[in-house]
Structure 1
Amino acid sequence: MNNTVFAPGARISSRGEDFLITGITENFDGSILLDAEGISELVKGKRFKFDTKLEKDIQILDPANTKLVADTDFGYRRTKLFLETQLRNNTHYGSKIHVAHKAAFNLSDYQLDPTLKAFKLPRPRLLIADGVGLGKTIEVGIFLAEMIKRGKGKRIMVLALKSILGQFQQEIWNRFAIPLVRLDSHGIAQIRTELPANKNPFEYYDKTIISIDTLKNNAKFRHYIEKSRWDIIVIDECHTVANSNSQRGDLAQFLATRCESLVLTSATPHNGKKETFANLIQMIEPTAIPRTGDYDKSDVAPYYVRRFKQHILDDQVRSNFQERQIIPIHCPITLEEEVFLSKQQKIKFEALQTLDLETEKNLFDDSTRKEKRDLLFSIGLFKAYMSSPLAADQSISRRIERIRESGKTSNNAEDNISLLKELKTDLELIIKNKRDSKYQTFKEKLIDLGWSGRPKDERIVVFAERIDTLAYLRENLMEDFDLGDDTLKTFHGGLTDIEQQALVEDFGKKDSQIRILLTSDAGSQGVNLHFFCHLMFNYDIPWSLITLEQRNGRIDRYGQTQTPKIHYLVAKSDTEGLKTDFHILENLTKKEEEVYKSLGDVASVFKLYDSKAEETKVEEAIIQQNEDFFGFSIPDISDEDLFGGEDDITESFVEPEPIAAELSLYANDGDYYRELIEQLKAEKLMGYDDAEFVDPTYLEIKNTKELDRVLFDLPKESKPEVKEGIYRLSLDKTTVQNSIAEARKKKGDWAKFQMLYDLHPVIRFLMTKLEASVDKEVALVARHGKIPTGTAWFVIHGQASNNLGQSVISDFFVVPMKLSGGLHKQPVPLQDFIRQFDINKTLLTQQIESEDLETLSEMLIDVVDFATSMHMDQKQQIKQIEMEKELAVYQEKLKNWEKSAKEQFQIAFADRPITGFIKRRMEDEERYVETIMSKSSQYYKDLNSLNNEAHLKVIAVFYN
């Protein structure tokens, strides 16, 4: 069999059943591997692969052999529905939005930018680097919806932090009706009971969401992904995989080669290192970064979007953010704390005295580590105490234990058992006598707020860096406020994925009993904590502006309905040294707020773009007693280099009219869905009471056994309760969004309503039933008095694919013929035909004689010939010229990249002795360049080749 015979969208027959081709892969021996979806009764909704070398009975339907059948339905309902369903199931192309705007979110142009920008690339692959709380998940949903509409989103894998797997999965389902199977530890355990041991879950489930750590740590899953390919992979919080030398980074680099489209998201997309940011961009496009590693904004600009709240001018969007309130709470330290901290300060001062000026300049150079151990010990002790006395106490206890185990002591403070015990005694005294000023102030503030942990009290998020501090707060709050276990919960990275997700979901529900959520910084990334919560306490102040912004962004984000009130507990002392140290920490909070109100990106302050590096910077400020420590460091790259700084954000790619005009035979979606359901009932393809429009916008559909079987991979939480067994779909966005809000009231609930639109799996199922109800090789015929007498107008769908099996031309047009023979006029676009002859209006059913059908059937060979030579051939020629121009541009870019790579190769190894190690490195570099060139060159050639024959399908015939 020849590759030119097949095209995506073509119908084939094999073993007596009918299938729809969804993808094509050419094998090395010239045979073809066909991806297909069953459309006849026995195989309906199931996915298959056919190897043309093995399957000898595969027949593709010749449009010239189409059987013409008279439509006898009132108003030719069946013809119109079949044609409309073909239009809606058609894959769309171009630079506009076709379906995502109908999903359950308040549309704003800025949300469309990432998808529209991605469509300008040969492969839709992009980094979404919008600021904290701006709604990156919705932007991902828009991209997924549009790719599914384009026939390029069948297989999807999302990688997210384990704490937000459920949150992400629920958001994408509730708003876009895109089902993701959650492979957390519970989901994996369930799969083991449902699937055979050797079954690859990534082949069984088309759309999944999983933690990258689960993939990284599970050898079996690593084996599974090596055998799989995806249409789209999404990596949320992608800065966690930016280091290619880490396990996460290595895995992400590999996954980038296993998908057509890639979406990376992060509010902190680089750490100031050119290499790590280059790793992200190279995952998107390997040839974007020169092999020298020396790149600028022009190299990476096509592959990212980045905006902050200040850049969003849409008033409706801005109304979904609230102006936050910052509340500093000063805590004058007690006498006992002064005693302890004065000892800490003494250690720091004496350590500084032993370091000469040159050593101090290289304070964080590991070569001088032995000489500065006491200095670093004093800073670590201070940092621990700034979290809580228990954190400092436990830190000292662990140090004493290590000294005893090793048996090694020294004159250093950190190895001085006597001094450590003295410090520990001071801490125990503070804890025992409740002389911890910060906790006492915190408790008094809660009392001032009228908070006592009652069910009607406000719920509060409390951030603290140390796990010991969380335990300390839990014990004291439980005792002082007589709280129950359900009232106060603790969230940290040591919890399992199931425990983390359960806590996040519970806290976001109105019926939650949690009044205080104590969380480490494991809860500072990606987690939604703003539902029913607008109060937050930074119990300790992180020594990083990036971490501080991430914390605050948990309640200060898109969709917050109340004023976010963010409290800082700040120690206060008049003692020299301590006073300065406390001011330095308070200045962090002031700077974060200052930047929040102006630039929008706190990482631009230190220009270090890494939380650990910022912590080191603050340590240095404390050592040097430098309150004005926001001087600019010089990183490899900065936000200004990559993202243009505050005055030059990502250019908007939204067109004046970003939403594509819709071609339809119906006045609105509701009319089509009503007619669709009535037709299926009339043909007994669904029970009379299986579906019902309760009102013009609200549809109820029973979850029948057949539907439940076909939709086996929907998240179980998204399915109707067994007792009711009804899917509720609405055309009204407000209804669905209110349902999403209502679901937040009760733990375990998902939204009861979803959007009634073409991407909903239930609607896709019904559309497939309607499409399959018209037999293969059949086109419906309607007699229409408004078209010219003595003519017949054949509605044709033409598709042509590239060498990757991707459909690049998909066009509906009409071939007008004379009943007496010959062409009546040139083929016309379907929309012109509909408009000219009122096909979208009520049609009058007329008698169709068998002789008429015979006459029309005899014309089919000529119709197909005219459709090919006068329409599709011309379309393909025009498209091929466009593609050849694009290919020339891509090839020039590849040649430049290869030339630069080879020049760099010669420079790098010119003066080096050719040892075995160097020789291996040279070979690896040569192999890398050759592989990228070979794969990229062949990919672009296949992408921009249009040598396959067009597939034609006769949809309907209108004659008079």
Structure 2
Amino acid sequence: MNFTSGQRITNRDEDFIINDALNNNNGWILKVEGISELVKGKRFVFDTNIDKEIKVLDPIDTKLIPDTDYGYRKTKLFIENQMRNASVYSKQITIAHKAAFNLATYQLEPTLKAFDLPRPRILIADGVGLGKTIEVGIFLAEMIKRGKGKRIMVLALKSILGQFQQEIWNRFAIPLVRLDSDGISKIKSELPANKNPFEYYDKTIVSIDTLKNNAKFQHYIEKTKWDIIVIDECHTVANAGSLRGGLAQLLSTKCESLVLTSATPHNGKKQSFANLVNMIEPLAIKDDLDYTKEDILPYYVRRFKNDIDDESVRSNFQERKVVSIHADLGAAENAFLELQQKIKFEAVNSLDAADIQQDLFGRKSKRKQKRDLLFAIGLFKSYMSSPEAALSTLNNRIAKLNPVEDTDDVVENNLNILLDLRQRLQDNIDNAADAKYRAFKEELIRLKWKGRKNDFRIVVFAERIETLKALKQKLKIDFDLDDKVIADFHGSLTDMEQQRIIEDFGKADADFRILLSSDAGSQGVNLHYYCNHMFNYDIPWSLITLEQRNGRIDRYGQSKTPYIHYMIAKSDLEGLKDDLHIINKLKDKEETVYQSLGDAASVYKLYNSTAEEDLVTKAIAANQASLIDQPDTPDTDDGGFDLGDDFWDDATPALKVAEPILEQISLFKNERAYYDALIQQLKADQYLKMDDAHFEGDLLEVKHTKELNRILYDLPQEAKPGKIGDVYQLSLNKDDVQNAIAEARKKKGEWARFHMLYELHPVVRFLMTQLEASVDKNVALVSKHSRMPAGVAHFVIHGLVSNSVGQSLLADFFVLSLHINGGLQGKPIPFEDFVKAHQLDKELYTEVIEADDISRLQALLPDAIIFAKEWHMNREQDKLKWGMEKKLAVYEEKLKNWKASKDKQIQHEFGDKPEYGYLKSRREKKEYDIQTILNDSSQYFKDLTSLNGDAYLKVLAVFYN
């Protein structure tokens, strides 16, 4: 029997709509929603191997009854609902443009590009601040509309779980259950111990670290499949050998669609980037260390601010201003750094250029001197953050000294030198010898910032937690601040603490005036809503990190000029002056990138913050600013990138799509008319009480009843009205919803009061299901229309063709016309053409339908079904089958070429080496992995392109004169 999403079935004398159909051991697992009275609104799972009496309603048994509603409202609503509920099979945008965001064509490209792939999978690698979350929402909305987004899991940094969840709900009305510490505790209290939360909740958002560190969750994952998995900041999972990377690789096999996002998704190593691409499409790359730009171009999009032509988008970015604040180091600070420089110079003088520029981090000759050099540079780096950070560095080293093993011929093991350095630092701290803090304090005073309620907010970034702690104490004393005014954010906070700080800092009524953050807050978080001043208290030795920091306030949607402040130490001390010059060049380079190239990683082409830090370390060690002015091209022999200069530094080519958005046909003059008719009909049929829902202008208010609360159990609590009896407020006006989103930022704990009124909203889905339930099973409504030609009956039919995994491949609405006395009149035509020809979207007038007319129409029904199958659906199915067979042949050729390439690599790697021990097991493991990918890919595409039996037909209505 043929099952697919959208079908209406009968089981145990009750009626249901199929929401999902999964092939299972020569049977089907059907996820359904009840629509008859006893089961209305409840969800069930049926196994056809157990429930043998499940029936798909046969169109030949359709009972025709007259529609007596004014203007044939019920007929129009029933057809409209079927069209809006139907899965679409289009490569255009069909629903996401209705969501609450300012539509920009570039944001549609990731989804449109994904639709060109066998599996809709994509890497979104847009630059910092371009709205990757919106692009994810567009993809999710479109896949839901296609019936391929019922089960979704989002993996995000623990600091932004709430931010991501709220953004996707507020703009797209897609509910994600947040599995943070509180969410997991709630699950433990509400679900049985053996209940898989990923089966109970269809749509979840969770931190990958939560999954990585929770053995029980990993067990659940192995038994679960998703339609879509989203991995935000995917560069954290690029290393397949790490726990995160291994988990991501597993998850990529547990879903049909995969979305990866990151502004910096690769680290300059071909192997790491290949890991990400292989998660998207295992057949894309034949050799992980030897592939071309053309191999991977279909699987990612990358754009920068300068690539966006849309003026309405550009206007949502403000031109930033850079403020350099110079701090002249005092005598005591110079005295300490003079000792640091002495250690550095003595180490440098005992090393040759190769030791410094090529092997500084290796373990070859003269290792002791290199250790001294790295110790001196590390001490300098920590002092450039703060004296307190440098003191912590020394304390940690002293605590690790082993009197037996460590010798004092290495400075970092010389207790006397370390103690002297520590004492000098402690004296400087006790005497407040900290020029940078003084300059910072003076700048705040110059800006008239006092940390009071009406003062502007500030973000301060520093690498070291000791620096953040010291800043907090000094600011509290010097500006007489309470703890509630200062937020300190770093990676050791719990997920709930991180989310609370980020959430509150973005609210108008928050007490926070200043956020002190480590670089844990430099990725993903939105800090720009009520903040446009950011201080780089220290300058990170990576342009990638610096760009990420600045992007927290300099991003899409910033309403004020973003001010980027840099704290810059100055000294005339020999050697130190040069080191400071090298560090300050990083600031200048990031600004140059901002003004021209658009991507910080393109400067050094290392694509990795750690590699950039190593480059700066070498420049300081060699006292050569030229190393960061004109760095050597990275050596690609170790698997680095060499795909052409424009591979990663340029945007991907813009898609050439003439009409990216597909406008849907409607029987109503506008959205307001449709939803108003829907509400009025449900009230007339007593599926809604008179005060359950009503319109005011463009705003629909729907009462939050106990029944609705039960059905929408998986909505975030913040998305629901406060209590039973309050109302959901759904608006057709995007501006109202976006204003509500902005208004919600004024109060802690608030989510947007207005939601978008469109088909994906769960409340709207509930109302549409109620309308479906109001029409008895196997019933089609009849309308008499005097403007139509006399003596002809027009049967409106919905035809569905699905594949062997229950996905709809074709959802066709067409009209078959028969003479009242029998015989086909012309070819079947698209329903859209029928609507236009007879102006069914205009007002209709109810006419008397005689019982004899119904009898004559009923007698025509068997012929209508036969003609619909033979003259339309069979032909459409044949065309679809032919197209699918062509795709399958191309894909099988791709599989064959990929397999041949992998076999050649194995032969090259192992050749005639002995077939035993480690080599044998390694070879067998590689061969097994290749065969697994081959089998899985082949079976997936066969399932995807196979047609599952006859088309499913449903008679929706009959029009006649």
Q: Same fold (TM over 0.5)?
A: yes
TM (norm. structure 1) is: 0.98
1:134 partnered with 2:109: no
Deviation at 1:408, TM superposition (A): 3.7
User: In structure 2, the residue corresponding to 1:302 is in which secondary structure?
Assistant: helix
2:387 to 368, 380, 389: 389
CA offsets 1:20-41 (integer angstroms, 9 cap, x no match): 223333333x233323222223
1:484 partnered with 2:482: yes
Cα distance in 1 for partners of 2:635, 2:359 equals 17
CA offsets 1:897-932 (integer angstroms, 9 cap, x no match): 011111111111114333311111111111111111
2:632 is matched with 632
Structure 1 letter corresponding to 2:291: Y
2:681 is matched with 679
Aligned residues: 955
1:66 is matched with 62
1:547 to 545, 548, 553: 545
User: In structure 1, the residue corresponding to 2:251 is in which secondary structure?
Assistant: helix
User: In structure 2, the residue corresponding to 1:641 is in which secondary structure?
Assistant: coil
- Spell out the pairing of 1:154-169 with structure 2 (5 A cutoff): 154-169=150-165
Deviation at 1:718, TM superposition (A): 0.7
Q: What percent of counterpart residues are identical?
A: 60
User: In structure 1, the residue corresponding to 2:456 is in which secondary structure?
Assistant: coil
Structure 2 letter corresponding to 1:423: L
2:214 to 212, 218, 234: 218
Between 272-281 and 450-459, the greater mean CA deviation after superposition: 450-459
Unaligned runs of at least 5 residues, structure 1: none
CA offsets 1:821-840 (integer angstroms, 9 cap, x no match): 12122211101111111211
Unaligned runs of at least 5 residues, structure 2: none
1:150 is matched with 146
> Residues 940, 261 of structure 1: CA spacing in aligned structure 2 closer, same or farther, 3 A cutoff?
same
Cα distance in 2 for partners of 1:640, 1:327 equals 37
Whether contact under 8 Å (2:740, 2:753) holds in the other structure is yes
Whether contact under 8 Å (2:436, 2:567) holds in the other structure is yes
> Residues 724, 445 of structure 1: CA spacing in aligned structure 2 closer, same or farther, 3 A cutoff?
farther
Cα distance in 2 for partners of 1:62, 1:100 equals 34
Deviation at 1:221, TM superposition (A): 0.6
1:807 is matched with 808
2:101 is matched with 105
1:21 to 18, 22, 26: 18
2:171 is matched with 175
Whether contact under 8 Å (1:698, 1:731) holds in the other structure is yes
Cα distance in 2 for partners of 1:37, 1:337 equals 72
> Residues 405, 803 of structure 1: CA spacing in aligned structure 2 closer, same or farther, 3 A cutoff?
farther
1:9 to 6, 10, 26: 6
1:295 partnered with 2:291: yes
Cα distance in 2 for partners of 1:286, 1:483 equals 55
Between 300-309 and 363-372, the greater mean CA deviation after superposition: 363-372
Whether contact under 8 Å (2:593, 2:600) holds in the other structure is yes
Whether contact under 8 Å (1:608, 1:635) holds in the other structure is no
2:36 to 40, 64, 69: 40
- Spell out the pairing of 1:862-881 with structure 2 (5 A cutoff): 862-881=863-882
2:119 is matched with 123
- Spell out the pairing of 1:39-438 with structure 2 (5 A cutoff): 39-291=35-287, 293-360=289-356, 361-368=358-365, 369-403=367-401, 408-438=406-436
Deviation at 1:237, TM superposition (A): 0.1
Whether contact under 8 Å (2:490, 2:519) holds in the other structure is yes
Between 417-426 and 125-134, the greater mean CA deviation after superposition: 417-426
Structure 2 letter corresponding to 1:687: K
Structure 2 letter corresponding to 1:633: T
1:932 is matched with 933
User: In structure 1, the residue corresponding to 2:836 is in which secondary structure?
Assistant: helix
Deviation at 1:356, TM superposition (A): 3.6
Structure 2 letter corresponding to 1:175: R
- Spell out the pairing of 1:672-821 with structure 2 (5 A cutoff): 672-695=674-697, 697-722=698-723, 725-821=726-822
Deviation at 1:9, TM superposition (A): 2.2
1:495 is matched with 493
> Residues 237, 601 of structure 1: CA spacing in aligned structure 2 closer, same or farther, 3 A cutoff?
same
- Spell out the pairing of 1:473-622 with structure 2 (5 A cutoff): 473-622=471-620
Whether contact under 8 Å (1:643, 1:650) holds in the other structure is no
Deviation at 1:404, TM superposition (A): 5.7
Structure 2 letter corresponding to 1:674: D
Deviation at 1:643, TM superposition (A): 8.7
User: In structure 2, the residue corresponding to 1:42 is in which secondary structure?
Assistant: helix
Whether contact under 8 Å (1:109, 1:654) holds in the other structure is no
Moved over 4 A (4+): 404-407, 637-640, 645-648
CA offsets 1:361-411 (integer angstroms, 9 cap, x no match): 321213454441111110111011010000111111121112168774422
Provide the alpha-carbon RMSD of the alignment.
1.5
Whether contact under 8 Å (1:821, 1:859) holds in the other structure is yes
CA offsets 1:769-811 (integer angstroms, 9 cap, x no match): 0011101111111111122211111000000011222111110
Cα distance in 2 for partners of 1:418, 1:550 equals 40
User: In structure 2, the residue corresponding to 1:629 is in which secondary structure?
Assistant: helix
Whether contact under 8 Å (1:599, 1:646) holds in the other structure is no
Whether contact under 8 Å (1:605, 1:632) holds in the other structure is no
Cα distance in 1 for partners of 2:134, 2:403 equals 53
> Residues 524, 236 of structure 1: CA spacing in aligned structure 2 closer, same or farther, 3 A cutoff?
same
> Residues 647, 454 of structure 1: CA spacing in aligned structure 2 closer, same or farther, 3 A cutoff?
closer
> Residues 635, 257 of structure 1: CA spacing in aligned structure 2 closer, same or farther, 3 A cutoff?
farther
Whether contact under 8 Å (1:800, 1:810) holds in the other structure is yes
1:922 is matched with 923
> Residues 647, 272 of structure 1: CA spacing in aligned structure 2 closer, same or farther, 3 A cutoff?
closer
CA offsets 1:476-517 (integer angstroms, 9 cap, x no match): 111111100111110000100000000001100011111110
> Residues 288, 546 of structure 1: CA spacing in aligned structure 2 closer, same or farther, 3 A cutoff?
same
Structure 1 letter corresponding to 2:4: A
Cα distance in 1 for partners of 2:884, 2:644 equals 30
Whether contact under 8 Å (2:168, 2:174) holds in the other structure is yes
Whether contact under 8 Å (1:306, 1:643) holds in the other structure is no
Between 33-42 and 535-544, the greater mean CA deviation after superposition: 33-42
Deviation at 1:94, TM superposition (A): 1.4
1:898 is matched with 899
Cα distance in 1 for partners of 2:648, 2:238 equals 24
Structure 2 letter corresponding to 1:794: F
CA offsets 1:511-544 (integer angstroms, 9 cap, x no match): 1111110000000000000011000100000000
CA offsets 1:172-231 (integer angstroms, 9 cap, x no match): 011111100000001100111111111111111110000000000001111111111111
User: In structure 1, the residue corresponding to 2:90 is in which secondary structure?
Assistant: coil
Cα distance in 2 for partners of 1:646, 1:949 equals 48
Deviation at 1:310, TM superposition (A): 0.3
1:467 is matched with 465
Deviation at 1:723, TM superposition (A): 7.3
Structure 1 letter corresponding to 2:553: I
CA offsets 1:118-146 (integer angstroms, 9 cap, x no match): 01111100000000000000000000011
1:653 is matched with 655
Structure 1 letter corresponding to 2:359: N
Structure 2 letter corresponding to 1:185: S
> Residues 936, 242 of structure 1: CA spacing in aligned structure 2 closer, same or farther, 3 A cutoff?
same
> Residues 94, 422 of structure 1: CA spacing in aligned structure 2 closer, same or farther, 3 A cutoff?
same
User: In structure 2, the residue corresponding to 1:535 is in which secondary structure?
Assistant: strand
1:833 is matched with 834
Deviation at 1:49, TM superposition (A): 2.4
Whether contact under 8 Å (2:602, 2:648) holds in the other structure is no
Whether contact under 8 Å (1:292, 1:904) holds in the other structure is no
Cα distance in 1 for partners of 2:827, 2:560 equals 62
2:845 is matched with 844
